[in-house]
A and B are shown apart, each in its own frame.
Chain A
Amino acid sequence: MNIIVVGCGKIGTTLVSSLVAEGHDLVAVDNNPDVIAQITDIYDVMGICGNGADCDILEEAAANKADLIVTATGSDELNMLACFLAKRMGTKHTIARIRNPEYNDRSLSFMRHHLDLSLAINPELLAARELFSLLKLPSAAKVETFSVRNFQIIELRLKPDSLLDGMRLSQMRNVYKGNYLICAVQRGDEAYIPDGNFILRSGDKIGLTATHTEIAKLLKELGLMQKQARNIMILGGSRTAYYLTKMLCAAGNSVTVIERDRRLCEEFCETVPKATVINGDGTQQDLLLEEGLRSVDAFVSLTGIDEENILLASYASSQNVPKVISKVNREELIPLAEHWGLDCLVSPRKIIADVLVRYARALQNSEDSSVETLYKLMDDKVEVLEFIVKPDFPKLQIPFKDLKTKPNTLVAGIMRDRKTIIPSGEDMLLGGDKVVVLAANQRINKLSDILG
């Protein structure tokens, strides 16, 4: 597909990198010549230097033939304008980053409608949603849901004293009965799709698919279940913090927010009156202890500085806070932070990139199946896709044991009329099913890629 990315700041660059990896033809537009020079040096894209809302620039970027334009400049208004112009010039789909909370839900939907935007993305809001779902299930390092809401995939790391250490997967099935599936394992830098003979080790990161209730049951049996976080401390009064606090307060949790800037604190206080807002420097450990760091259920560091987030998160871990989450903007730091023992890291840039990759992949719908959702697990080494099986898919009503699947892929779940099935060899696909498929170290675009 031909995709135009306007604005190559932090998010724009991440987008370029992941969309190029997907195999799309990209045109990157930015008004800073240095940024363009750097991007064209690293990635195989065309760079245009100029204002993305200038129709001459858009024409040069061939907006009339483009399939998708994504605008991610620092200005919401410019993003909207560029999308609007591109749409009028013939671009098929438009996605704008709109992050200002003042463009609230109602005015946003009005604007989306009248500007003909396919999607408006708000990185902070998406990050806050992800954080919220993590706080609801604190045992997991990552939680993703599929279109049938109660079906989930979670990532968790096996602690050194885990009951599962040294256990064969077939054996585990007999010990812990239930309707679940260990669908992916990451050990060191390698990601695997395990079979029955795979032996788990402590330190492994495992991916688990099951329904909400099954997951809770299994975690309880394994002694891994942590209760939902109720008392939460948030460091930094950023926009992400604002959205998260609003969601948490609405769900009846108690939230303490620590922010250095007096003015931001006051603003916060006005918009989310239920939260406790502390004006102080969160890097002072005394202040954190005074505000009850040792008694909270979860600690979330959301300041604008990655290093500060990582350091304070590991301090919180050392104070035995049950759940510690850190925001990390630069992906390069994620492996370093994991090395430090932080397993729960949220990167807004990566979330956005995933959303767009999913969107772009769904646009390339093939005849036999269409992509509904797409997640990346295990440091992006494993892809999880949800497909809708069309009624004319050739491999319908054939039991899985009679079908050949490609190595390192797995059908992890079938959702049929609000029922979820963890498939065995006897199960088969029917038209209209929603299927969850995993693939390690490869890209799949359609269901027939893995079922041969």
Chain B
Amino acid sequence: MNRKMVFYMIGRIILIEAALLLLPSVCALIYRENCLFALLITILIAVVSGLGLTLLNKPKDITIFAKEGFAIVALAWIVLSAIGALPFVISGEIPSFTDAFFETVSGFTTTGASILTDVEAMPKGLLFWRSFTHWIGGMGILVLVMAIVPTDSGRSIHIMRAEMPGPIIGKLVPRIRTTAKILYLIYIVMTAVQVIFLLCGKMSLFESLIHAFGTAGTGGFGAKADSIAGYSPYLQWVITVFMLIFGVNFNLYYLILVRKARSAFKSEEFWSYIAIVSVATAVITFNILPQMKNVSESLRAAAFQVASIISTTGYATADFNLWPSLSKGILFILMFTGACAGSTAGGLKISRVVLIFKSIRSNLKHMLHSRSVESVRFEGKTLDNATVRNVTAYLGIYIFCFVAIFLILCIEPFDLETNISAVAACFNNVGPGFSAVGPASSYTEYSDLSTWVLSFAMLLGRLEIFPVLLLFSPTVWIKTKTTKKRI
């Protein structure tokens, strides 16, 4: 592996994080809070270590192959979270580094799982940073790097592939840098629109920003102990709609932008997403009707929770722990499906679920008619076997990781529902689970070991397993020899 290039890129990413940390610092300055000091020290540490890494590792050879791409992405996310956790530790708001790391990973991976018991006591500067990590992590820090920093290497597609969720990554335009720019532009504009809608509902600017970041990244960190429950029905609907919007593949928005709306609305994944959301909402609405005052309230709560879970955001307007088993069961399943590929959501992604069903169907058919020739079609195109195989392999490793993490968590003295939903909520980047980790409680009860394991689970889920696992493969770390002479 070209280690110099990997460390050089990570150095650059740390420098960008230092720049991003300026925003919460400004926020802390406005509110005249003591956490400003902690933020500034973190910026200093980031600048020093970032400069150190870039200057010490000036690479001669800048080629990036798949190996380097995976390593850069996985390492960058770990390092980013470690540095991002420092403000919490230095300011003393979250004294344990383990907990602070969990909180930051939860932010960057857009999970929204928190170890905080009293959110409202946090300084505003740190709350801002916590939510801002959602926004950065949602579209991906390396996509941001690619949009800003020009790279000569055409192979940087490997980085994009490692960071963007979904089975098939297509470029919008020939150049990867332009693609990254377009994606971020769409992202910024949609976030801004949401802020405006929230402001119209008389939410304060600070809270609007926090909730817009949380929704855009499909994260779920809020500013209140009861999440969104305390806000007006209008605000709840705005957040519901935007959670769903951010769960759609961003390529569709690009297609609409270039006036190809017709092909955008042909997307199979999009319609499957809409279908799942509507059916789930309808069932839950009727299921929870006895607990609610009227149909409109029931519909609002059901739609909000479905949108929040399927987009893996994790906001709550009600304690769904108290809902009937059927509703809880549906929400639990939605945690796994996740939203569309190419969005900011986590989970398996609808496209994978659809593909798995299609390949099962064609396999079944093949069993009945052993000579039939089958092909799996998706989005109007026949998929090659390699893609289908990748998706099934992903499902396999997904289940395997899930089981392994769950087993470790079983050491904890909690009931099965708590543990299994905690793993599902972290692994799929949702946030709140059921029972003891439900929307009304937090992850603070877990031991240090489990906190680390859950942090790891969140990273696995966000980067879609492979990049993180590949870090443990020894072949990735074999050093490239620098040869001076050709031939």
Contacts and interface: CB of A to CB of B under 8 A. Distances in A.
A45 B173 contact: no
Interface in B62-93: none
27 contacts: A20-B154, A25-B173, A25-B175, A25-B178, A26-B174, A27-B174, A33-B384, A40-B157, A41-B155, A42-B154, A44-B154, A44-B156, A44-B157, A44-B174, A44-B175, A44-B176, A44-B177, A45-B154, A45-B174, A46-B171, A46-B173, A46-B174, A189-B486, A335-B486, A335-B487, A336-B487, A339-B487
Contacts of B155: 41-42
Interface string A242-271: 000000000000000000000000000000
A335 B157 CA distance: 29
Counting from the closest, the 6 A-B pairs by CB-CB distance are A44-B154, A25-B174, A43-B154, A46-B174, A46-B171, A44-B176
Interface centre among B158, B174, B176, B384 (most CB of A within 10 A): B174
Nearest to A25: B174
A45 B173 CA distance: 8
Contacts of B176: 44
A2 B175 CA distance: 11
Contacts of A335: 486-487
Contacts, number: 35
Nearest to B485: A189
Interface string A26-67: 110000010000001111111000000000000000000000
B132 to A, nearest CB: 30
A33 B381 CA distance: 12
A427 to B, nearest CB: 37
Interface residues of B, number: 16
A58 B487 CA distance: 41
B194 to A, nearest CB: 31
Contacts of B153: 44
Interface in A309-340: 335-336, 339
Contacts of B171: 40, 46
A335 B486 CA distance: 9
A214 B89 CA distance: 78
Given A20-B154, A33-B384, A42-B154, 12 more contacts: A25-B175, A41-B158, A44-B154, A44-B156, A44-B157, A44-B177, A45-B154, A46-B171, A46-B173, A189-B486, A336-B487, A339-B487
Contacts of A2: 174
B168 to A, nearest CB: 11
Nearest to B154: A44
Interface centre among B154, B173, B178 (most CB of A within 10 A): B154
B141 to A, nearest CB: 20
Interface of A: 2, 20, 25-27, 33, 40-46, 189, 335-336, 339
A150 to B, nearest CB: 37
Interface in B460-487: 486-487
Interface of B: 153-158, 171, 173-178, 384, 486-487
Nearest to A17: B154
Nearest to B381: A49
A26 B176 CA distance: 11
Contacts of B156: 44
B384 to A, nearest CB: 6
A378 to B, nearest CB: 15
Contacts of A40: 157, 171
Nearest to A44: B154
Interface centre among A2, A26, A45, A335 (most CB of B within 10 A): A45
A27 B170 CA distance: 13
A339 B176 CA distance: 37
A335 B487 CA distance: 8
B303 to A, nearest CB: 36
B453 to A, nearest CB: 34
A339 B155 CA distance: 30
A315 B171 CA distance: 49
Contacts of B173: 25, 46
A41 B157 contact: yes
Contacts of B175: 25, 44
A313 B486 CA distance: 23
A42 B158 CA distance: 10
Contacts of A42: 154-155
A197 to B, nearest CB: 27
Nearest to A65: B258
A8 to B, nearest CB: 14
Contacts of B487: 335-336, 339
Contacts of A46: 171, 173-174
Contacts of A45: 154, 174
Contacts of A339: 487
A2 B178 CA distance: 13
A20 B176 CA distance: 12
A83 to B, nearest CB: 20
A189 B178 CA distance: 34
A40 B157 CA distance: 8
B311 to A, nearest CB: 29
A44 B173 CA distance: 10
Contacts of B384: 33
B128 to A, nearest CB: 36
A67 to B, nearest CB: 12
A45 B178 CA distance: 11
Nearest to A20: B154
Interface centre among B153, B157, B177 (most CB of A within 10 A): B157
B326 to A, nearest CB: 44
Contacts of A25: 173-175, 178
A339 B158 CA distance: 34
A2 B173 CA distance: 10
A46 B154 CA distance: 11
Nearest to A23: B175
A54 to B, nearest CB: 13
Nearest to B153: A44
Nearest to B172: A46
Nearest to A34: B384
Nearest to A338: B487
A41 B174 CA distance: 13
B388 to A, nearest CB: 13
Nearest to A28: B174
A265 to B, nearest CB: 37
Contacts of A33: 384
B460 to A, nearest CB: 25
A400 B392 CA distance: 68
A42 B64 CA distance: 10
Contacts of B158: 41
Nearest to B487: A339
Interface centre among A44, A46, A189 (most CB of B within 10 A): A44
A339 B487 CA distance: 8
Nearest to A39: B154
Nearest to B484: A189
Contacts of A189: 486
A41 B175 CA distance: 13
Contacts of A27: 174
A44 to B, nearest CB: 4
B119 to A, nearest CB: 43
A45 B157 CA distance: 10
B385 to A, nearest CB: 11
A16 to B, nearest CB: 10
Nearest to B263: A60
Nearest to A61: B174
Contacts of B174: 2, 25-27, 44-46
Contacts of B154: 20, 42-45
A26 B178 CA distance: 13
A256 B426 CA distance: 76
A46 B173 CA distance: 7
Contacts of A336: 487
